[in-house]
Amino acid sequence: MSAVVHTHRLQVRYGETDQMGVVYHANYLTWFEVGRTEFLRHSGLTYRELEEKGVLLPVAEATLRYKLPARYDDWVEIRTRIEELTPVRLTFAYEVYRIPDETLLVSGKTMHAFTTPTMKPIRLSRAEPDVYAWLLAQYEGGA
């Protein structure tokens, strides 16, 4: 389990909800993407920098577990961490909480393959050893 957990807060917008004011289920995947983007940025590496190095992180698998709905105008906190890191893939884990009451609404994971811009799989530990070492530090709790 990663010791580095990044938190990002957002307020539920009207356009993210259905007629009942409940967040549409697919929007949680968008929030997961916000969580991992901000995790990387906050830790000192952006998606743009990864892409400039020729490394892409396409989503290979996503899972979500819905517990309670978020609603229009709620404040939520997305908590993101690296759950697993291997030379060929990276798995992020997410939890979405309503704040300030700390109610867990949704949890989930996304698994990403390391690829080139042409979607050829790579071993990140060989292709970009510095990036792999940086991710490993995030996974193990250092920065």
Please name which of 47, 57, 64, 63 lies closest in space to residue 112, comparing C-alpha atoms. 57
- Whether 36 is in a domain gets the answer yes
pLDDT for the residue numbered 142: 56
Asked whether residue 97 is assigned to any structural domain, the reply reads yes
- Say what the pTM is: 0.93
Asked whether the predicted pLDDT for residue 27 surpasses 50, the reply is: yes
* Domain assignment of residue 54, yes or no: yes
pLDDT tens, residue by residue, 128-142: 999 999 999 999 985
**Active centre residues (catalytic):** 18
The type of residue at 32 is F
- Whole domain around residue 80: which residue ranges? 5-138
Q: Can you tell me the distance from the alpha carbon of 143 to that of 130, in angstroms, rounded to the nearest whole number?
A: 13
pLDDT at 13 over 60: yes
Domain annotation covers residue 143: no
Provide the domain count of the chain: 1
CA–CA distances in Å: residue 5 to residues 8, 88, 130, 138, 140? 10, 22, 21, 9, 11
The DSSP element (H or E) to which 6 belongs, if any, is strand 5-11
The CATH number given to whatever domain includes residue 14 is 3.10.129.10
